[in-house]
Amino acid sequence: MPADPPKPPPLPLPASRLSRMTRLGGLATRLAGGVAAGGARELAQGRRPRWNDLLLTPANARRLADELSRMRGAAMKMGQLLSMDAGELLPPELAQILSRLRAEANPMPPQQLKTVLTAAWGPDWLRRFQRFEVRPLAAASIGQVHRALTRDGRDLAIKVQYPGVRRSIDSDVTNVGALLRLSGLMPRGLDLDALLAEARRQLHEEADYPREGACLRRFGALLEEAPDFRVPALAPDLTTDCVLAMSHEPGHPVEDLVTAPQEERDRVATLLLGLALRELFEFGLMQTDPNFANYRYQPETGRIVLLDFGATRSFPAPFRALCREMLRAGQSGEREALRAAAQGFGLLEARTPPGLEKTLLDLLTLALSPLRTTGEFDFGRSDLAQRLNAAGLALAEERAELPLPPVDALYVQRKFGGLYLLATRLRARVDLQALTAPYLTPPAPAEDSQ
């Protein structure tokens, strides 16, 4: 397995709402200044400047991504959510800028970390541990993870939330939304307010560590008899509003399996896609963040470690029934069945123009085409992702004519889209018809009432 990449250096986190608003406001000013200077140069050379070309310079791209990374919290998470959730709706230039935010964040300096833990556990917190590693195992948008050994011998991973994250969510989302509007790059008709409202709701849930601890326990119980998966065990005595403690489960990044034998790559991709189907149709409860970092691989046992349950979402039975109808329509390839499923989701309305309806149904037919593959679908040899991106951008041009899909559908799309990308990275071959076959038939009423 290759070594993990070097960690970013520590960087103080702007914790107050005022300091964060000032930084975002300063970023907008610097972007606007760069646009003005670039426009003046273009005019001086006798060329008429284009707004998008002036804004999307390499320098401005670095400014935007780097500043959101430094701020961490909701500002950085917003960029991650938009780059993953609305990738097919955003211009490639903006999606590429935002995708930089999925890299690991800068951790807090040790003194800031000590302040947070003292507030959570009291001034004598170090006495609880034989060892507490100040250097984090990982740092993300909302918190960073440290390894620790307690006095009673528990090997733990401790997630520490950045100071001020919860207080700054609403203002961060508002200010990032203003930056996106300033860019002038949002597709015509895209309901940015609806996306921002959902991002705000999700961020409040992800910053609720007691809620995440409950989800961690729930998934541990659901997968207790699943030998191929490992879910960390919650340490409730050390979990607080801003600290989440759980057992440390060693493993390598799942994408390191690119060098593993074909059979093992196929097995892991099949397991993860099969788990997502179980989450949707059996559990009615899904971990909706498909970030590759949420999956670790244990080469000694072949088990997959599942991490980060902050984005866990429950789905009601009627929505799952609609997903089942879409699955069946996708596998059958019947146009009328697909149209009925799209209408059930609210993607098509009576007033939808015929040409736009055809474009949408063509896109859905393309997206679900792997389900019609007999035998193994070869993710590594497929160009479906590129064709879907082109079709999605074409549809975005007419977005004003289409209603936004239900929020639940966006979460399911994000999960399976992320797993598709992972299976493509692993060049895996998966028998999708065999995986989906158990879920084509409606369950018994008692099962579907969850």
List, by residue number, the catalytic residues.
289
Q: Residue 84 in contact with residue 414, Cβ under 8 Å?
A: yes
Residue entry with tokens 């960029």: 79
Sign of CA dihedral 103, 397, 367, 259: negative
CA dist., res. 110 & res. 379, Å (int)? 43
Residue of 144, 66, 65, 148 lying closest to 108 (CA atoms):
144
Mapped onto helix, strand or coil, the DSSP state of residue 439 is helix
User: Which tokens is 188 given?
Assistant: 């015509």
Q: Which token pair is 56?
A: 């999307």
Phi and psi dihedrals of 287, rounded to 5? -80, 110
- Please, which residues have CB within 8 angstroms of residue 388's CB and are 6 or more apart in sequence? 88, 363, 366, 367
CA distance 379 to 262: 12
Closest CA to 286 of 296, 295, 277: 277
User: Cα torsion at 272, 274, 275, 281 (round to 10°)?
Assistant: 150
The DSSP code sequence of 344-358 is HHTS--TTS-HHHHH
